[in-house]
Amino acid sequence: MESDDHFCPLCLSPIKHEADFVFKGRNFYRCDECHLLSVCPDALPDAQTEKNRYLNHQNYGCGPAPVLVDLLKRRI
Ligand SMILES: [Zn+2]
């Protein structure tokens, strides 16, 4: 595991230790201050990759409207 200085995305404390573990090729770090488990920002997907992944999902959303519309369409 490599040492990779970066900051906790929650409390902004510096993370200066080696990765706590590696999962699917990405280093994960536990913040010494707030204990948030995060991945190194360098391992996050770029905006276009993230959008393509999102568009590949068939989500219902988190509000009642999208689910309600889908249920009503099934009854027609
Ligand atoms: Zn933190």
Higher pLDDT, 24 or 75: 24
Residue 71 counted as domain residue: no
CA dihedral 9, 19, 35, 53 (to 10 degrees): 50
State in Å: Cα 40 to ligand 1 middle.
13
**Has residue 51 been placed in a domain?**
no
Residue 5 is assigned to a structural domain of this protein: yes
In a domain, 11, yes or no: yes
Q: Does some domain include residue 68?
A: no
Q: Number of structural domains, the chain?
A: 1
- Tokens for 62, please give them: 């988190």
3 found inside a domain: yes
Place of tokens 């994960």: 28
- The DSSP call for residue 44 is S
Domain presence at residue 34: yes
pLDDT at site 63: 64
Please give the residue range of the domain that contains residue 28: 1-43
Q: What is the mean pLDDT of residues 52-71?
A: 75
Measured between alpha carbons, how far is 44 from 64 in angstroms, rounded to an integer? 30
Q: Model confidence at 1, in pLDDT bands (50, 70, 90)?
A: very low
With H, G, I as helix, E, B as strand and everything else as coil, classify residue 74.
helix
Centre of ligand 1 from the C-alpha of residue 50, in Å: 24
Query: Does any domain span residue 26?
Result: yes
Centre of ligand 1 from the C-alpha of residue 36, in Å: 5
Asked if 36 contacts 10 with a C-beta cutoff of 8 angstroms, the reply is yes
Q: pLDDT by residue (tens digit) across 7-54?
A: 999 999 999 999 999 999 999 999 999 999 999 888 888 999 999 988
